[in-house]
Amino acid sequence: MTPPDQPVHRSGFVALVGRPNAGKTTLTNALVGEKVGIVSNRPQTTRHAIRGVVHRPAGQLVLVDTPGLHKPKSLLGQRLNDVVRDTLADVDVIVFCIPADQPVGTGDAFIARQLKNVTTPVVLVVTKTDAAGKKAITEQLLAASKLVDAVEIVPVSAVAGDQVELLSDLLIKMLPEGPPLYPEEQTTDEDVERQIAELVREAALEKVRQEVPHSLAVSVEEIIRKPDPRDASAVFTEIHALLHVERATQKPMLLGKGGSIIKAIGSEARVGLETLLGGRVHLDLHVTVLGEWQDDPKKLNRLGY
């Protein structure tokens, strides 16, 4: 227990759940105050449980941004759902995200049924309020409240920053007393190699269409760090990464005419990588075909899923 003359400090784990594209990662990034997870309007953008650490004087929130719960169509989908269920079993609070700009649907009801089996307190968050009018938000709050027995219901816009701090304060008050779990300078426990792969995948998701996004995975083959020839006090990082697709017909979609798309992916990813690594980056990307990897246990293990 905290002595009476000291302010109470709380710490614990909060899982963000919701159907694909419910705004979980954008909200995680907004709460942390910096980017810890990639964002895209494509389903299955988040494929791992990503931890973002929120530091406040009153406590420390460790946010676990999970993949979107969905009815799986592949072994990858089953494994992503398993990630969510494993996470839910080991957190102090669950944040159930439902977007304000889309009707409550079967995907939300599916998640609500999963949450009926847990005893962890649930906070219902209606996300993306910047994309909906007041009437629509009110109707969504009412519809969402019927899905699950929530201890609190909060409308939030992570993009506009509306009620993000309020949500942060609310969640900290629900955590058990305890010391910080991570050092103050740490905002995520993602390893650098995975962060690199995710930034490359994020750039690729923005550049490709059709069926490629679901079939795309990225692996980092080599990271070489050395003094920057332009500035001896800086570090230059050479990264070799592979973009894996499932079918040979998908390879040209990633390469583009004359390599135009793969070059654009590299240029976009490099901006985020240089911010992440704090120096200039040379990014070498190649596209390979890894047949039907979403349903192959060995290939999924190789890719880290």
Tell me the binding residues: 65-69, 127-130
Q: How many residues does the chain have?
A: 305
Contact between 123 and 151 under an 8 Å Cβ cutoff? The reply is yes
Measured distance CA(164)–CA(186) in Å, rounded: 20
Task: Give residues with Cβ within 8 angstroms of 213, minimum separation 6.
Answer: 40, 42, 43, 44, 205
Take residue 57 and report the two structure tokens written for it: 């004087």
Q: Annotated binding site for GTP, which residues? A: 65-69, 127-130
Coil, helix or strand at residue 182: coil
For residue 120, give Cα distances in angstroms to 101, 114, 116, 213, 240. Answer: 27, 12, 10, 34, 42
Task: Give residues with Cβ within 8 angstroms of 52, minimum separation 6.
Answer: 28, 29, 31, 32, 36, 37, 62, 63, 65, 187, 188
Measured distance CA(205)–CA(56) in Å, rounded: 33
For β-strands 231-245 and 217-228, DSSP reports them as: antiparallel
